[in-house]
Homo-oligomer: A and B are copies of this chain.
Amino acid sequence: MAPMSKNAAAPSVPTRDRLLDAFEELLVEGGERSATLDAVAAAAAVSKGGLLYHFASKDALVGGLLARLDALALEDAENIRTAPAGAVDYLIRTSVHTGSPLDRAYIAGSRLAQGRDPRAVQVLTEIRRRWLSVIEDAVHDADVAQAIMLISDGLYVNSSLAENELAPQNHTDAAMTRLIALIGRLLPHE
């Protein structure tokens, strides 16, 4: 077929990124196992040869995903630090599945880490270390910061496990506001 404007939509997004998007999507939706090269190529509407043109191996594909995740997370750490409503507020609100690029990349990375890919484990560990550090700066108490991180992690688990079942309205804006108020009690007074 015509490799140009697929059919209607012009490839405003470079193929390389579309491949990474597709890989991510498959990891999130179907786990490690379903993210095969064939599946990734098909999902990105690219031939397998085309995939391997951009990423010479599956390892390279994983590397590309992890690099993008790391870059996204680095930006995010800055967003948390400078969030107008406060670091804790921002962290908690963005810990629920918002569908943001970082969100998807983070969950995809988690899948790889659970498959025990050592690079994925390292990248995730580093990202979490950065988040913890930002929260520590914001609350001035290592134990409280730790507890807040745990809640943030818990939210990720919840939203990626239940998707939308368990406790229908746990992730609404109102619920998040109540949760953040609750976290406020952890702070002695500042």
Judged by a CB distance under 8 angstroms, whether A178 is at the interface is yes
Contact with B along A112-124 (1 / 0, CB 8 A): 0111100001001
Task: Give the distance to chain B from A32, nearest Cβ to Cβ, in Å.
Answer: 5
Task: Give the distance to chain B from A122, nearest Cβ to Cβ, in Å.
Answer: 9
Q: Decide: A161 and B31 in contact? CB cutoff 8 A.
A: no
CB contacts under 8 Å to B, within A152-190, are 152-158, 160-162, 165-167, 170, 175, 178-179, 182-183, 185-186
Task: Give the distance to chain B from A96, nearest Cβ to Cβ, in Å.
Answer: 11
Judged by a CB distance under 8 angstroms, whether A134 is at the interface is no
CB contacts under 8 Å to B, within A53-67, are none
Q: Select A115's contact among B30, B147, B183, beta carbons within 8 Å.
A: B30
Given contact pairs A125-B165, A170-B146, A29 touches B116 in the complex (Cβ within 8 A): yes
Query: How many of chain A's residues have a CB under 8 angstroms from any CB in B?
Result: 46
Chain B, Cβ-Cβ closest to A122: B165
Chain B, Cβ-Cβ closest to A143: B178
Residues of B within 8 A of A6 (CB): none
Whole-angstrom CA separation of A113 from B161 in the bound complex: 7
Whole-angstrom CA separation of A46 from B22 in the bound complex: 39
Q: Which of A31, A129, A155 has the most CB of B within 10 A?
A: A31
